[in-house]
Amino acid sequence: MSASHLNSVEKRAALSLASVFAFRMLGLFMLMPVLAIYGQDLSGFSPLWIGLAIGAYGLTQALLQIPMGWLSDRFGRKRIIIAGLIIFTLGSVIAALAESMYMLTLGRALQGMGAIASALLALAADLSRDEQRPKVMAVIGMSIGMSFAIAMLLGPMVAASFGVSGIFWLTAALALVGMAIVVWLVPSAVNRAPKGETSVTLADVGKLIRHPDLARLDLGVLFLHLTLTTIFVSLPPQLIKDGLPAAQHWQLYIPVFILSFVLMVPMMIVAVAKQKEKTLFLVAILMLTASMLGLVIGASSVYMIALCMVLYFIAFNFLEATMPALVSRQSPANQKGSAMGVFSSSQFIGAFLGGILGGFVAQRGTPEMVFAAAALVGLIWFVIAVKMRVPPRSKIISLLSAVGSEQDAQRLAAQLVELPGVLEATVVCDENRSYLKVDEKKFDLQAAQELVASA
């Protein structure tokens, strides 16, 4: 298999995990443009409770990403993902049945407790090689972006016909579809780190938080999603002010998302093929900042907003795909789930803080001031990211390995990881293949082949 192309496992993992992300996020995004309008029928309605209902999800997500990632390291990715989707479905049902803002907020908080993003990203990392991981993450990032665009179109339609409860019932149904995908379509893999690195403690999590390079990436995703939510506090009202009715906003969003993804692909190819990851990472942050400064200057023109949004989402999609891959390479072999938990928590904290920042500035100033505040965040991020180090890629060895059950896969992975030079071993049950992350200076290929043959 060529190192420049996704193999069958990576393709299947990318598409299936992206589908889980998309189905889960679609219902959540559909709520954004309609809750403040259709939520007025619920008892206890007020702007404060609207904010709490929206923020409750992000808050519980931020609090539980690290524990859920840690649990996925200990008990397996798929088990934790299914458990999270069950909790998410229960929260959706409670919100759908709610007759008050208080019960709806409780349902939203329970939805957030199904915090599976870290486990999903860690599973994507388990099932992909270092050099192909950005492509897998790009597919996942694209699915999230497209679900956002589709949600902007479907949200008002569903709410107009079935109210806010209709959106939550649809969300619950999509979560059930996500569970089916995890069980039957997502590849099964057993991942092992070297002996002595097989358990993750709270002290280990503390080290992950303090790790200089991981901390830069965690701050980066915080800043990235802070700018996103900050911008969308003022962008929809500004589009209406510029003459684009709310019902037609999808006509801007969908072309912007599609064009930005197409234009992001060459950046990704150059970053991987030419090993220019840090250079293009910094370029993307500058593009992000320039787009927000462009909004400061041209917010009165729909065409200028569209141009700035294309530039913004080229950078956003590139960074959204690149950062999880870098986190997985920086983190210890057995702690990817925990590292992704810290990373995902930072993402949701950023979204929560972005809403606060955008609302605070918008209430006291103009939309241009909101965009300027987001641009300032981008400049701060660039200064922090300049010192970022990109870890070298390790060598990935692929070996045919017939295993009859998950127990056999567990045993083989444990044996492989004991070999000298093996940094990480992943046995993909569905494909009868093992992937080894190795230090070429210490690794003995013949010994690995003999072990796999004997197993």
C-alpha distances (whole Å) from 268 to each of 118, 201, 301 are 22, 35, 30
Please give the pLDDT value at position 333.
57
pTM: 0.72
Instruction: Quote the pLDDT of residue 431.
Output: 65
Q: Which residues of the chain have pLDDT under 70?
A: 1-4, 33, 36-37, 47-48, 50-51, 145, 189-202, 204, 332-337, 392-396, 430-431
User: What are the residues facing 191 on neighbouring strands?
Assistant: 426
pLDDT at 104: 93
Residue 398 DSSP code = E
Contact 305, 239 (CB under 8 A): yes
Distance CA 28, CA 194 (A): 39
- Closest Cα to residue 319, out of 138, 105, 94, 107? 138
Residue of 398, 428, 396, 395 lying closest to 413 (CA atoms): 428
Instruction: Please say whether the beta carbons of 111 and 88 come within 8 A.
Output: yes
Q: Which residue has the tokens 């004997």?
A: 454
399 forms beta bridges with 434
DSSP-assigned letter for residue 100: B
Query: Token digits for 82?
Result: 């299914």
3-state helix, strand, coil in the chain (%, to 5): 75, 5, 20
Integer Cα distance of 337 and 71 in angstroms: 8
Q: Check residue 396 and give its pLDDT.
A: 67
Closest by CA to 398, choosing from 80, 98, 129, is 129
Could you tell me how many residues make up the chain?
455
CA distances from 39 to 51, 93, 317, 405 (A): 12, 16, 32, 50
- The whole-angstrom separation of Cα 370 and Cα 235 is 9
CB 374 within 8 A of CB 292: yes
Alpha carbon distance 337, 123 (integer Å): 8
Which of 404, 420, 372, 346 lies closest to 62 in space, CA to CA?
A: 346
DSSP codes of every residue in 401-449: ---SSHHHHHHHHHHHTTSTTEEEEEEEGGGTEEEEEE-TTT--HHHHH
Q: What is the rounded CA–CA span in Å between residue 339 and residue 138?
A: 19
Give dist(CA 116, CA 82) in Å, integer. 9
Instruction: Provide the 10 A C-beta neighbour count for residue 279.
Output: 13
Q: How many CB atoms lie within 10 A of CB 202?
A: 10
d(CA 284, CA 259): 16
Instruction: Give the per-residue pLDDT at 361.
Output: 83
Q: What's the pLDDT score for residue 1?
A: 43
Question: What is the per-residue pLDDT for 153?
Answer: 75
